[in-house]
Structures are given as C-alpha cells and as structure tokens.
Amino acid sequence: AQSVTQLGSHVSVSEGALVLLRCNYSSSVPPYLFWYVQYPNQGLQLLLKYTSAATLVKGINGFEAEFKKSETSFHLTKPSAHMSDAAEYFCAVSRSGNTPLVFGKGTRLSVIA
Amino acid sequence: NAGVTQTPKFQVLKTGQSMTLQCAQDMNHNSMYWYRQDPGMGLRLIYYSASEGTTDKGEVPNGYNVSRLNKREFSLRLESAAPSQTSVYFCASSAGVNTGELFFGEGSRLTVL
C-alpha cells in the first residue's frame, strides 16, 4: 500500500529564512505527488503537483518541490519565508489508476517575525 | 464561484443522535470525497464516489454511510453518533479519482457529546 511520511509535525522559521518541509513516500509504482496548504479555518488548496513531466516542480506563492526517486522524497522548499506562509502543509501521493490520494499527517509551519 | 459547499458548518450532537452532512459542487466534477481531519492524524478518507452511481469505502468508513444523490451532491450520514466521531469533516471533489487536484469545501466542525 502506498503511504507518505512527513517528517516533523511542526516547523518554525524566521521571516526571510529558508523553508524546508520534508516528505517521503512509499510506492511500488511511480507516483503522482502533491503538496496542499491549509490556512486556518479553511479547506485545503493545491500548492503544486508532480506528474513525471519534470523533477523540479514550481507552485504558487514561491514554493517548489523536487522529486528524487533515489531518495523517495518530495521535499517542499521556499527560499524566503513570509508571515503569510504560516499554515499547515500536507504531502499526498497517488498511483496512476483509480485510487484516491493518501495524505500525510501534515506539518504546521510557523513564521517568526 | 461557489466551488464546493458544505452544510452545516458547525453542529453539536448528543451520543446516539443521527445527522447528515451535505456537500454540493458546481464544477461538473465526476469524483467526490469525504475526509475527516483530527489533530495529529492528517486527513483520513471516509468514503468516496469515483463517479455518479458508485461509492467506495476509504480508510475509516465504520459508523458512516454515504449517498451520491446526483453528479453534484454527495452526502455523509452518521446513523448513531459517537464521541469518537467528533472531528472536522471535509468534502472534496475532482475531475477524476487519479487526476490529483482536489477542491475542498471549508469544512464542517462536528462535536458529539
């Protein structure tokens, strides 16, 4: 069964610092990989997705993620954190075929002024 | 644009009571989902409907039933609510099960006393 592991339930960074949120997946077939963001009291919205076209994927709000098959990782980064980035971030995986997304447990990002 | 609309947004029940969460989408999506979100557990899939006329169990279906009323609407019913069902429930939709981009409602916060 496919699964996704997010390392760190809470990450805290200073404003202007690098953001790095970690995600590792287990899948027996090449996966589709996603990052979603959830702002307080809202539903999730798509940040970016990997579907095998390119290993470096750019998303909204300056975020990007790199697919590394050898490390089974899909870490999310942003060069410079902004206060508005404070939210919960979820990594998700899906195989091709008729199977729904499986979400990680989420990482809450705090940005300190 | 309405997107995915869930009702009610808040509900308090007593143990043993029943209720139905309603969800409607206006994006002509084929697939719809119900997730629950609990602290430290991420999002867990309760049921999904890959297309009108079909429903399938997700990771945590016990205690719930669903109805795909038509292409737009997908309801979640708790027949006999239990305190363990206290959670935030999210409805989502997508063009297809494996297309990846889910569109979420704003959530329904349910408390069972």
Do A41 and B107 lie within an 8 Å CB cutoff?
A: yes
Neighbours of A56 (CB within 10 A): 9
Output the DSSP codes for A44-113.
EEEEEEE-SS-SEEE-GGG-EEEEEGGGTEEEEEESS--GGG-EEEEEEEE-SSS---EE---EEEEEE-
pLDDT in the model for residue B94: 92
Cβ-nearest to B45 among A9, A32, A100: A100
Output the DSSP codes for B28-80.
--SEEEEEEEETTTEEEEEEEESSTT--EE-S--TTEEEEE-SSSBEEEEESS
Which residues of A fall within a CB distance of 8 Å from B42?
90, 103-106
pLDDT, tens digit (0-9, with 9 covering 90-100), for B30-65 = 999 999 999 888 899 999 999 999 999 999 999 999
Phi then psi for residue B83, to 5 deg, are -55, -30
Question: Which residues fall within 8 angstroms of residue A1, CB to CB, at 6 or more apart?
Answer: none
pLDDT in the model for residue B43: 92
Report CA torsion sign: A52, A7, A89, B6.
Answer: positive
Do B101 and A51 lie within an 8 Å CB cutoff?
A: no
With tokens 């429903």, the residue in question is B55
Residues facing A89 on adjacent strands:
A37, A107
pLDDT at B103 over 70: yes
Closest chain B residue by Cα to residue A1: B59
Do B90 and A51 lie within an 8 Å CB cutoff?
A: no
Any B CB within 8 A of A25 CB: no
pLDDT in the model for residue A30: 64
pLDDT in the model for residue A28: 65
Which residues of B fall within a CB distance of 8 Å from A100?
31, 33, 45, 48, 58, 97
Which residues of A fall within a CB distance of 8 Å from B100?
32, 34, 46, 49, 51, 94, 101
pLDDT in the model for residue B1: 64
Distance CA A87, CA B39 (A): 14
CA dist B15 → A42, B82, B108 (Å): 27, 5, 18
Cβ-nearest to A44 among B48, B98, B104: B104
- Averages of pLDDT over runs of 10 residues in chain A (113 residues) are 87 97 82 91 91 86 93 95 96 77 93 95
pLDDT at B29 over 90: yes
Any B CB within 8 A of A90 CB: yes
Tokens standing for residue A76: 């999310």
Tokens standing for residue A91: 């990594």
pLDDT, tens digit (0-9, with 9 covering 90-100), for B80-100 = 999 999 999 999 999 888 777
Mean pLDDT for chain B? 94
